[in-house]
Chains A and B, each alone.
Chain A
């Protein structure tokens, strides 16, 4: 249990550093989209003895660390469902083929561009779109070229 606590403290510190790093590139952040967290037993002891909770507890710990770091900066934290976020992104972008869209992004920005990037970008797009409601879906789709990122 002491080990879990040490990692949790380390995760919180690293989450702060991670968000610091983003703000050097994008100074004004208006929100963070994180995956939904499953319910867990209340104590660490219960989590590590329950096999199912044991597997989920690590992801939840990192998400909570990032959420705390974001909230400490006053950034709203939005939760997304990884299963439905791609469909929602397709609607927000008003495109039929999201894969084709991400392929174009990949061509423009270059590697690394994998499933994690797609998921994170879809979540950010959906969050941005939800902030203004369906009347104002994201009007255009632009992205910076690889040289700019």
Chain B
């Protein structure tokens, strides 16, 4: 019979400072992307390069930091997260290649498209909207896949640990004193499994022998 005291899952909380920090990062990213676009936009593959840089910047923030609807934060200091970095990088590179190729092909076929695609309908041309829309779809697909990987690895680490450490497994915490100690054994889920006071020295022997011997020496040499 176990008594549960706390909810097993807590919704992650995002502090105001973190929200403001992330917002600032997005603004910096948007401004930086705009500047890069001005600088590199006219060069060969300039737009693809700017897209790749901006995409990488925002992907980092969206994958690892909380945002609307995706509140979980994944710290890069966490070992479980670090273990997933190679696969996240591989996914990111795959998406970048797809976007780079998609954009290059889209730019190449532009002269062959009908006038419909180049007609401005008030909020840009269909040609531009297809390119932006597909990039956004790619972006959120990658973010959701990456977050899913991180979330699953965290769950696996938890369940794996619990598999290794069943409820019958325990870790002993010790609070020791002169000649005795309290041992408290706890399961990985916080269950208190055992507690006991144990004697650490036999009867008739001093519990603090160094101290006793030290005092005896001092009494023999009262001048010291």
Interface residues of A (CB under 8 A from B): 1, 3-4, 6-8, 10-11, 13-15, 17-19, 21-22, 25-35, 44, 47-49, 51, 53-55, 57-59, 61-63, 65-66, 70, 80, 93-95, 101, 104-105, 108-109, 112, 115-117, 119-125, 127-128, 131-136, 138-145, 147-149
**Number of B residues with CB within 8 Å of any CB on chain A:** 66
The answer to whether B183 and A22 have CB atoms under 8 Å apart is yes
Asked whether B98 is an interface residue with its Cβ less than 8 Å from the other chain, the reply is no
A32 to B178, CA, bound (A): 19
Extra 18 A-B pairs, beta carbons < 8 Å, given A10-B205, A14-B201, A143-B190: A6-B205, A18-B181, A32-B174, A33-B174, A49-B214, A59-B176, A116-B182, A120-B174, A120-B195, A121-B186, A125-B186, A133-B79, A135-B78, A138-B189, A139-B9, A140-B190, A142-B2, A144-B193
The answer to whether A149 and B195 have CB atoms under 8 Å apart is yes
Q: Which residue of B lies closest to A13 (CB)?
A: B202
Interface residues of B (CB under 8 A from A): 1-6, 8-10, 75, 77-81, 154, 157-158, 161, 165-166, 168-179, 181-202, 205-214, 217
Say how far A133's CB is from chain B's closest CB, in angstroms: 5
Query: What are the 4 closest A-B residue pairs judged by CB atoms, nearest first?
Result: A124-B173, A123-B173, A18-B198, A120-B173
The answer to whether A132 and B198 have CB atoms under 8 Å apart is no
What residues of chain A lie closer than 8 Å to B172, measured between beta carbons? 19, 22, 29, 31-33, 70, 120, 124
Pick the contact of B171: A32, A105, A108, A112 (CB < 8 A).
A32
Say how far B87's CB is from chain A's closest CB, in angstroms: 16
Which of B169, B171, B206 has most chain A Cβ within 10 Å?
A: B171
Q: Which residue of A lies closest to B202 (CB)?
A: A10
What residues of chain A lie closer than 8 Å to B157, measured between beta carbons? 132-133, 135-136
Summarize A's interface: helix, strand, loop or mixed: helix
A114 to B77, CA, bound (A): 36
What residues of chain A lie closer than 8 Å to B209, measured between beta carbons? 3-4, 6-8, 58, 61
What residues of chain B lie closer than 8 Å to A49, measured between beta carbons? 214, 217
What residues of chain A lie closer than 8 Å to B170, measured between beta carbons? 26, 28-30, 124
A44 to B169, CA, bound (A): 38
A51 to B213, CA, bound (A): 11
Q: Which residue of B lies closest to A51 (CB)?
A: B214
The answer to whether B207 and A134 have CB atoms under 8 Å apart is no
The answer to whether B175 and A119 have CB atoms under 8 Å apart is yes
A15 to B212, CA, bound (A): 21
The answer to whether B196 and A109 have CB atoms under 8 Å apart is no
